[in-house]
Amino acid sequence: MPQQVDASRISELEGVVEAALTEARAAGASQAEADASLQRGLTATVRLGEVDTIEYHRDRGLAVTVYFGKAKGSASTADLRPPAVRDTVQKAAAIAKHTAADDCAGLADPDELAREIPDLQLYFPWDLQPEQAVELARDCEAAGLESDPKLRNSEGATVTTHGSVRVYGNSHGFLAGYPTTSHSVSCALVAQERDEMQRDYWFSVARNAASLEPPGAIGRRAAERALRRLGARRLATQRAPVLFAPELARGMFGHFIGAIRGASQYRRASFLLNAAGQQVFPPFLSIVERPHLLQGLASSPFDAEGVATRDRDLVSAGVLQGYVLGSYSARKLGLKTTGNAGGIHNLLVSAQQSGDFEEMLHRLGTGLLVTELMGHGVNGITGDYSRGASGFWVQNGEITFPVHEVTIAGNLREMLRSIVAIGSDVDNQGAIRTGSMLIEAMTIAGE
């Protein structure tokens, strides 16, 4: 096995980053930043009890950005040896000298940089050997296939473990890094009855392998999801309430985040253009960002520019409080960075109008429960939304039959305002934590 990727490698990467910054100063750069990383992982996939793939992942990289005044140049390399570091800085400098000046370019302001680096418990190494990973994947798939004779095929079960360490530094004197891990188990099964075949999956992901769902439970959940899709029908075209399962509701809020990113705002390419201070959601809904959740999948002590991450109310009583910004987009908009260079950090969606899954079905009454989405029919500029969907038809609060080959359509701005309730069945396996989401009505296109 390759050398462990953990906190012991931070000093090694700090040396690489410091060398890059020294070379940038020698080249005459007025400002510079460097980001070095090491990654290591193992993935094992089993299909129908046989080993399909075993892959080792081992990557390293250095990204350097230099500024000559307001002119910027960037270069990267996978070679961390001193000659390669020197060449990378020289290439970045050469690019900068041929780049037009941009008044918004430059490092994050020094007073925004993280002063303390809290331990967020993001590193839990899993000493997983390939044979063990294969056995876990076999157990996962077998538990699903043994659930019912209708489960006759499989797309496989996969076990993954990944560790990385990253160090970022800049010419303002910032230099810090930390290690992280991510582990997952997933399974996708195919149920068959006569000539009909239906596929579904389940998965679990966590920083700490001890927090993963048991492989057998994941396989059985995948089996249950595939079996319940047998006998799927199409629907007549109509307008009806739609309930999104939690893992799909997360994607819907992802479209919202895309619309309030700084780049979307300053490029004027957003269906929520200049929406800060406006009522974007119903008054019962709020969204907060919590970057320092222990073991959070999107937790981070600082963003991609070294800016300290902080708790933040993004949406309060349905009103958008601000945008998602890094330093460049903040300057373009005449605002301050929100510590989101590189992405969001644990968004928690909450609502006064909520309930568990059964209560959400009751609130839905008669309409469509969506459990899978297909296609990419989302226009981030106009908000027009149209995607293929499958799931279940619900009548009087009870699931009656599975549904496939339909399209759901609407406009995102209207959809966000017409959210009726958010469930308490929160999905924690991503950067956005939300329960199921009930929308008042959407167009369902079928037969």
CATH number where 153 lies: 3.30.2290.10
pLDDT digits (tens, 9 = 90+) for 380-428: 999 999 999 999 999 999 999 999 999 999 999 999 999 999 999 999 9
Mean pLDDT of 283-302: 97
Asked whether the predicted pLDDT for residue 109 surpasses 70, the reply is yes
Mean pLDDT across 225-243: 96
pLDDT at 348: 97
pLDDT tier at 4, thresholds 50, 70, 90: low
Which of 200, 227, 254 is at the close of a domain?
Answer: 227
Task: Decide if pLDDT at 3 tops 50.
Answer: no
Q: Nearest-5° angle of CA 97, CA 100, CA 104?
A: 115
Q: For residues 343-366, give the mean pLDDT.
A: 94
User: Which 3 state secondary structure label does DSSP give 2?
Assistant: coil
Contacts of 166 (CB under 8 A, 6+ apart): 13, 35, 36, 37, 177, 178, 180
Report pLDDT for 264: 97
- Among residues 206, 227, 248, which one ends one of the domains? 227
- pLDDT tens for 115-173 read 999 999 999 999 999 999 999 999 999 999 999 999 999 999 999 999 999 999 999 99
Burial of 253 (0-12, 13-18, 19+ CB in 10 A): buried
Residue 325 confidence (pLDDT): 98
Indicate whether 212 belongs to any domain. Answer: yes
Same domain for 220 and 247, yes or no, is no
- 49-56 mean pLDDT: 96
Q: Is the pLDDT of residue 353 over 90?
A: no
Confidence label for 376 from pLDDT (cuts 50, 70 and 90)? confident
Residues linked to residue 347 through DSSP beta bridges, in sequence order: 289, 432
Same domain, 62 and 174: yes
User: 367 lies in which domain range?
Assistant: 238-445
Q: Are residues 252 and 205 in the same domain?
A: no
Q: For residue 112, what is the enclosing H or E element?
A: none
The mean per-residue pLDDT over the stretch 37-47 comes to 97
Q: CA-to-CA distance for 293 and 305, rounded, in angstroms?
A: 20
Residues 175 and 252 in one domain: no
In a domain, 1, yes or no: no
Q: Is residue 124 part of a domain?
A: yes
In a shared domain, residues 217 and 265: no
Relative to beta strand 238-244, strand 367-374 is parallel
What was the pLDDT predicted at 2?
41
Query: Has residue 80 got a pLDDT over 50?
Result: yes
Residue 401 contacts residue 393 (beta carbons within 8 Å)? yes
CA–CA separation, 106 vs 327, rounded Å? 8
pLDDT tier at 260, thresholds 50, 70, 90: very high
Mean pLDDT over all residues of the chain? Answer: 96
Does 279 share its domain with 300? Answer: yes
Task: State yes or no: pLDDT of 78 exceeds 60.
Answer: yes
H/E element holding 288? Answer: strand 285-289
What pLDDT score was predicted for residue 355? 87
Q: How many domains does the chain have?
A: 2
